[in-house]
Chains A and B, each alone.
Chain A
Amino acid sequence: MTKLEQDELSSKIAYITINPSGNFLKSAQLGFEAVGLKPKYLIYVKPTDRLKKEFKKYRLSFFTKFLFPQFKKFFRNKKSFSNEEVDIKIENNIIVSKLNSQNTVDIINNLGIKYLINCGAGIFRKKIIEIPELIILNAHAGKLPSYKNMNVVEWAIFNEDKVYGTVHQIDFGIDTGPTWIEKEIIMDKKTSLLDAREHAFDVVIKMVGKAILIHEEGKLKPISYNPSEGKKWYRMHSYFQNRVEKKLNK
C-alpha cells in the first residue's frame, strides 16, 4: 500500500470511546501505527449517560464508590497497556453526547467513515449498526464463540484453555458478529491476573489495524457463528480469581 493509499484509508477510520485517555485507545494507536495507518477521527462519547446510570446505582456513595476510582484510573493517561508512552495525535476529535443518537449517525455519515473501532464506547444499537457501508470492529480477548462477554481472559486461564485475541465485526448481539482474524495470545511470565488481562488487551487491540489491511486487500474470510452457539461468561468472583492467580504463579 502506498503512502497515499494509507492516508486515504486512515481518513475512513475512526475510534469511538467514552475514555479518550484509556490504555485501550493508546494500544490501538500503536497497533495502527505498526501497519502504517493513522486513524483520522476520534468520536468521544460523553459519559453523561453512564454517569447518570452509575449515579442511580450508587446514589449516596456515587463519588467514593464510582467517580473517584474512575478518575484515579484514567485521568490523563498517556500509556498503552504495554506501558509505552503514546503521543500520536488524532487529527479530529468529535464529541457526541449519546452513543446511539441521530447525531452520531449523522457524523459518521458526513465524515464518510467506513471502519469504526470500538475502544469501549458502550453497546451499539440498531441505529448505528445499520448505517450502510459502516463496519464496526471490536477487539475481544477470547476465542469466539466459546468465550463471549466478560472476563474471558481469566476464564480461559481458569479452564486451562488457550487465550485468543479476536477481531470481530459488531452485530446485534454481544460478541456474536463474524470473526475477522484471531490469534493465540501467549501468556508466558504473567504472574498476576491484571498483568495477564492487560497483556491480552494490548495484543488484541493492536490486531485491528492488521485486520483492516487484510480486509482492504480482499483476503479476509470472516467466520460466522450462530448467535446461540458458544458460552457467555460473566464477571469472575474473587473465589475463582484467586484460583487463577495461583495457576499463574505456578
Chain B
Amino acid sequence: MNTIKLIKNHKNKLIPIFFSCFKPLNFIVLLRNFLSFLSGPKWEDYINKNNLTYNSLIKKGISWIKSSQDKVGSGGVGCYEFYRWTKGYPEVTGYIIPTFFECFKIYDDIDLKNRAIRMTDWELSIQNLDGGWEGQYEGDGKPSIVFNTGQVLRGLISSFKETKDKKYLNSAIKAADWIVKNQDKDGSWSSANFKKMKRVYDTYVTAPLSELYLITKNESYAKSCRKNCDFVLSQQNKNGWFNNADNTLLNNDAPVLHTISYTIDGLIETGLNLNEDKYISSAKLAANFLLHKSEITNFMPARFDKKWRKKSNYSCLTGNAQLGIIFLRLYEINNDVRYINAALKLADFLAYTQKLNSIGKFRNGGITGSYPIWGMYCPLKYPSWATKYYIDLLILIKKHTDLD
C-alpha cells in the first residue's frame, strides 16, 4: 500500500529515473551495489585497511559539494539524481554553510569561505517577506516552512560569526521572529510546517534558535526553545523512542534514522545552549539504545518501530552520519570512549559506501541516500545533506582522535 502511494507521489520522476538506470555509469553503480549487498559486510575497519586518510575522504566530500554548487549555479547546493542535478535546496544549503566555514579553518582554503558566503548571500536573496524560507527546492513555490527556515538560520548565524556582517544577523532575527510567531500553544510547530505535521524533530530548529538567543539575548527565543523541547520530552517513551518523529504521514510508526537523529542532536545542542540537563538526558536515553543497535548489527537499519526493532532492510546513510555526530557530541559531554568506538565504525561503513558509489564525476565523493542505493530513503539519489553530515562526522573524529 505504501509503495503504491509512493509511486503515485513520484510518478513524474519514475520514467526518467527508470531509463537513467541504463546509462552506463548509473548501471555500474547499481551493479556494484547489487554485488556488495549480496556479498555481505565488507566495511569492518575499512578506512584503516585501505590506507585511507580522513583528510582525503573529507576533501572528496567537499569536492562533491563544490561541484553541486557549481552545477546548480545560483549559489545554493542541490542533489544529484540519476538523471539530473536538482535546483538549490535552501534548507540544506543553510546547514552546509557552517560545514564549509569549518573546513576553511582546517584546510585554510579561502575558496571554501567564499563559497560559504555565496551560499549565504543566495539564501538572503530568496528569503520570503514573512522572514521564512520555502520548503523543498528553490522555486518549487512552497510556502515558508519552520523546519527549513531553522536550518537556514544555522547558516546565517555562522556567516555572521565569521564575517561580523550585520545583514546576516538581521536576516536571522527576522527569520527567528517568524518562527516564534508561528509556534503552537503546546510548543510544537504544525501550522507552518511540512504537511502541517506536528513533529519532534523541530528540536533541530530550537538548536540554532537557542544559539541566536545566546547572541541577541532575546528571551522570547529561549522561551520558545524550552516550550518546544518540553513538548518533545512529552513525546518520548520510556525506552527513549520518540512518537511523531518521521517526516512522512505513512511511516510515522517507524521513523527514519535521519529524523530521529535530528531530534536527538537538536536536544543536545539546545540543552547545551540553554544549560538544560533534562534535554541532554533525554537525548542520551535515545542515543544509548541506538549505540547498542549500531554495535550489534552489520549496518543500522533505516527505520525503527517503538520497540527499536528494525523496520527496513536498507540503511539511511545520512542517519548513520548524524548518529556518529551525536555519539561524538555525547563523548564531548561525558568522555565515554564507547561513543568514539561506535562513531569510528559508522565512519568505516560510510567511507565504504562513498567508494562504492563514486563512479564518474557527478558521483565522485558523494554519499547516497541509502545503502543499497535503491533503499527507500532517497533512492538512486546523492542528497547533499548526506555528504554534509559525513564530512561533519569525519571532522569530529579527527578532532577527538589523532587520526589524520
Which residues of A come within 8 Å of B, CB atoms? 57-62, 65, 158-159, 231-240
**Cβ A237 vs Cβ B298 within 8 A:** no
Which residues of B come within 8 Å of A, CB atoms? 35, 38-42, 45, 48, 292, 295-296, 298, 337-338, 340-342, 344-345, 348, 401, 403
Q: Chain B residues near A61 (CB, 8 Å)?
A: 39-40, 42
Q: Chain B residues near A238 (CB, 8 Å)?
A: 45, 48
18 pairs, CB–CB < 8 Å, chain A vs chain B: A57-B40, A57-B41, A59-B39, A59-B40, A60-B38, A60-B39, A61-B39, A61-B42, A62-B40, A233-B338, A234-B295, A234-B296, A234-B342, A237-B45, A237-B341, A238-B45, A239-B403, A240-B337
In whole Å, how far is B358's beta carbon from the nearest beta carbon of chain A?
A: 22
**Cβ B295 vs Cβ A239 within 8 A:** no
**Cβ A237 vs Cβ B40 within 8 A:** no
**Cβ A239 vs Cβ B338 within 8 A:** no
Contact of A60 among B35, B48, B295, B348 (CB under 8 A): B35
Interface contacts beyond A57-B41, A59-B40: sample of 15 additional A-B pairs, CB < 8 Å, sorted by A? A57-B40, A57-B298, A60-B35, A60-B38, A62-B40, A65-B39, A234-B295, A234-B338, A236-B341, A237-B341, A237-B344, A237-B348, A239-B48, A239-B403, A240-B341
- Alpha-carbon distance between A58 and B295 when the two chains are bound, in angstroms: 17
- Alpha-carbon distance between A236 and B45 when the two chains are bound, in angstroms: 10
- Alpha-carbon distance between A135 and B37 when the two chains are bound, in angstroms: 42
- Alpha-carbon distance between A58 and B38 when the two chains are bound, in angstroms: 7
**Cβ A235 vs Cβ B295 within 8 A:** yes
- Alpha-carbon distance between A158 and B340 when the two chains are bound, in angstroms: 13
In whole Å, how far is B40's beta carbon from the nearest beta carbon of chain A?
A: 4
The chain A residue with its CB closest to the CB of B344 is: A237
**Cβ B344 vs Cβ A58 within 8 A:** no
Q: Chain A residues near B401 (CB, 8 Å)?
A: 239
- Alpha-carbon distance between A102 and B403 when the two chains are bound, in angstroms: 51
Contact of B292 among A57, A158, A232 (CB under 8 A): A232
- Alpha-carbon distance between A59 and B403 when the two chains are bound, in angstroms: 33
- Alpha-carbon distance between A225 and B42 when the two chains are bound, in angstroms: 38
Given contacts A238-B48, A239-B344, A239-B401, contact A58 B39 (CB under 8 A): yes
The chain B residue with its CB closest to the CB of A59 is: B38
The chain B residue with its CB closest to the CB of A231 is: B338
